[in-house]
Amino acid sequence: MFYPGTDSLVLTLAAPPNGPATTWEFTGAGAQLSGVEKRGETAGPRIAAVRAPALKRSVPKAWEDPVAIFNGKDLTGWEPIGNVENSKWLARDGELVNDNPPVEGHHGPSAANLKTTQKWQDFKVHFEVNCPEHGNSGFYLRGRYEIQIGTEGGTEPSHEMGAVYSHFAPAGNIGNKLGEWTSFDVTFVGRYLTVFRDGIKIHDNVEIPGPTGGALDCNEGEPGPFYLQGDHQGVVRYRNIKIQVPK
């Protein structure tokens, strides 16, 4: 409920059979929003938010030469995150591999994700990936915006290979190509994204509205790492990961 003449907003969920309703009470001040979660009259976590930055920047006129960020030999420059004690990431035959084959009857996260130790702002990145049938991964830009790798069953186009997860389905009608090597060439400036897959444009300067599921943080104005999703099953293999930054 919004109260006219004020900067207050109250959202209420219906009370479950065995407990009080949950409400979120917000107060706005300029570009900021603050509030509290309540269960009945009991105050819980504080909530704070700021307006997302516009991130409107001109495309650089020139780029540095490509630099490899995976050396093909070991995980130098990368580190596991999440379920690190069960990381399946390794370098093998010049490839960056999440060696996490499916286990019959097992579902859900079972291994670690992997991120770069460096962070970047605007860039071009090239990578190649081979995702098996039923495999699932994600290539995150600045650790916040997922390019879907693999499939979630084909029922949601924005959850299939090359999609900006939950935001934009890929154009080009080239299919998932599971079990094959496929290449991505990404240009990301501000929050505007262009992606070619195997030379076919699948995203044309789309404006990403905000972080996708699984984002490391919501600090959109800051540089961030690349991060590879490895907590799903499937032996997903990456290679030839190279970045270009503005001159």
The model's confidence at residue 71, banded by pLDDT at 50, 70 and 90, is very high
The pLDDT > 70 percentage for the chain reads 92
pLDDT at 50: 79
22: number of Cβ within 10 Å: 16
Q: Is the pLDDT of residue 5 over 60?
A: no
| 149 compared with 10, residue with greater pLDDT | 149
Q: How far is CA 218 from CA 33, 48, 66, 143, 221, in A?
A: 15, 12, 28, 9, 9
157: number of Cβ within 10 Å: 10
The model's confidence at residue 18, banded by pLDDT at 50, 70 and 90, is confident
The model's confidence at residue 131, banded by pLDDT at 50, 70 and 90, is very high
For 137-184, the DSSP string reads: EEEEETTTEEEEEE-S-SS-GGGSTT-BTTTB--SS-----TTSEEEE
Q: What is the C-alpha to C-alpha distance for residues 204 and 213, in angstroms, rounded to an integer?
A: 22
84: helix, coil or strand? helix
Provide the mean pLDDT of the chain: 90
| 214 compared with 153, residue with greater pLDDT | 214
Q: Is the pLDDT of residue 84 over 80?
A: yes
pLDDT at 3: 44
Residue pLDDT, tens place only, 150-202: 999 888 999 999 999 999 999 999 999 999 999 999 999 999 999 999 999 99
Q: What is the C-alpha to C-alpha distance for residues 157 and 180, in angstroms, rounded to an integer?
A: 20
**CATH number 2.60.120.560 given to 67-244:** yes
Q: What is the C-alpha to C-alpha distance for residues 50 and 31, in angstroms, rounded to an integer?
A: 6
Q: And the tokens for 181?
A: 């090597």
pLDDT at 51: 83
Sequence ranges of the domains in the chain: 8-50, 67-244
The pLDDT > 90 percentage for the chain reads 70
pLDDT at 22: 83
